[in-house]
Structure formats: C-alpha cells, structure tokens
Amino acid sequence: MAGCPAAEQGDRVPHFGAGGWLPYLEDVYERQWEQSIGPYWSDLAAFAASQNPDLLVCLELHPGTSAFNVETFERVAGLGTSLAANLDPSHFFWMGMDGHKVAERLGRLVGHSHGKDTVFHADSLALNGLLDRRWPRPAEQMPWNFAVPGRGHDQIWWTGLMRSLATSRVQVISIEHEDPFVHPEAGIPEAARLLKNAIEAAQEVTA
C-alpha cells in the first residue's frame, strides 16, 4: 500500500489526508505530498526501474493510505513507470466508486487484482453510514462487510469487471478471503467458481 504519513513533519501518528471538511483538515494531503509521498515514491520508482525495467510495484488502492482512488493513485503513478495499481473492487463498493470505470480509466496501470466483494446491511447503514469506527468487529453490527465474490454483486457484475480489465496487465485474479460469516474452506472454492465463470463469460463476449 502507498503508506500513510504524518500530517506534519515530526508528528508520530499517521494521518489519513482524505478531505478538508473542517479547517484543521485542510491542506493536510498537500503537505504530506510535498514532504513524504512525492519524495518517497519517486525514489522507490527510480530504484525499481534501475533493478528491473519490467518490475511493477502494485499499490492497493485502499482507504487509510495516500493512494485510495483514481485521483490520488494517478498522481503517485506519475512519479515513475514502475508504479502500478492493485485493484480491489471491494474497497470501491463502500466508497461509492465504480470498479468497471476505475479499471477502464487506469488500463495498463493496473498490474494486479483481487477478487473480493462487499455486502451492505441496510438497517445499520441507515443509522451509522459507511464510516463506522468499530470495523471490523462486531461484524454483525457493521454497516458493511467484505464478502465472498457473488454475495454482494452477481456474476454479471464480475463478468463486466473482467471485460474492463482487458487492457490491463492483470494475469491472475487473487482471491482475498475476508468474509467474517463464511469459513475459508467454503468461501474460497465458491469465489473460485464464480470468478472462473466470470472470466470465461467475459472471454466469450470479447471473442
């Protein structure tokens, strides 16, 4: 992941610079960019390229880090050709992003992808919204939880994602099992079946 620097140099606590809704949050991200994010990833991208020009450092777009959506990732990716994205649609669901459009926009900047879904719980969501401090426990009280692919979004959605990844450099879909309500021994084969069917369906459409 892209990391989460402090709000100011010398601070000892990471600060997720995701917005300026209140005066004390304004300009935090820009300070982080100038002091930490830009210099760090510029150096790392140059090092990776010097070691192997084919090497991709794939950053997972994840809330709580300095690259969590298209705008923040593209800024980091502009620092060097060795930097690419690890696309995990489960994060996009609860941020209100469209995983298909993200994949299409980033194209060859996507170097890896996870297969993981998100399920929403209407009653808790209505009361607490998406930003619940208690996540991930207790899972039964959360507004949302990560889920086995297909349990939140059907095979048609996943087939669309596979089509959207056609211009990417993704070679495998990595199943990341984090469903608190499904045992891995059941969830992983279930995910594999759905993703296999989605990949085959996408290939039939594009053939």
Look up tokens 């949302």; give the residue.
144
Q: Is 16 exposed, middle or buried (0-12, 13-18, 19+ CB in 10 A)?
A: middle
* Measured distance CA(10)–CA(8) in Å, rounded: 6
Q: What is the band of 135 on the pLDDT scale with cuts at 50, 70, 90?
A: confident
What is the average pLDDT across 12-17?
95
Backbone torsions φ then ψ of 111, nearest 5 degrees: -110, -10
Averaged confidence pLDDT in the chain: 96
What is the average pLDDT across 165-188?
97
What is the average pLDDT across 182-194?
98
Cα four-point dihedral sign 81, 83, 86, 89: negative
pLDDT of residue 207: 60
Look up tokens 């992003």; give the residue.
97
What is the average pLDDT across 179-191?
98
Angle between helices 155-164 and 184-206 (to 10 degrees): 60
pTM score, whole prediction: 0.94
- pLDDT tens digits for range 64-123: 999 999 999 999 999 999 999 999 999 999 999 999 999 999 999 999 999 999 999 999
Higher pLDDT, 136 or 190: 190
Q: What is the DSSP string of the chain?
A: -----BSSTT-SSB------SSGGGTTHHHHHIIIIIHHHHHHHHHHHHHH-TT--EEEE--TTSS--SHHHHHHHHTT-TTEEEEE-HHHHHHHT--HHHHHHHHGGGEEEEEE-EEEE-HHHHHHH-S--TTTTSSGGGSSEEEE-TTSSS-HHHHHHHHHHGGGS----EEE----TTS-HHHHHHHHHHHHHHHHHHHHHHH-
What is the average pLDDT across 121-148?
94
Q: Domains in the chain, ordered, with CATH?
A: 1-87 (no CATH), 88-207 (3.20.20.150)
* Measured distance CA(84)–CA(113) in Å, rounded: 11
Look up tokens 């690890």; give the residue.
86
What is the total residue count of the chain? 207
Q: What percent of the chain has pLDDT over 90?
A: 94
Q: What is the band of 206 on the pLDDT scale with cuts at 50, 70, 90?
A: low
Q: Is the pLDDT of residue 205 over 80?
A: no
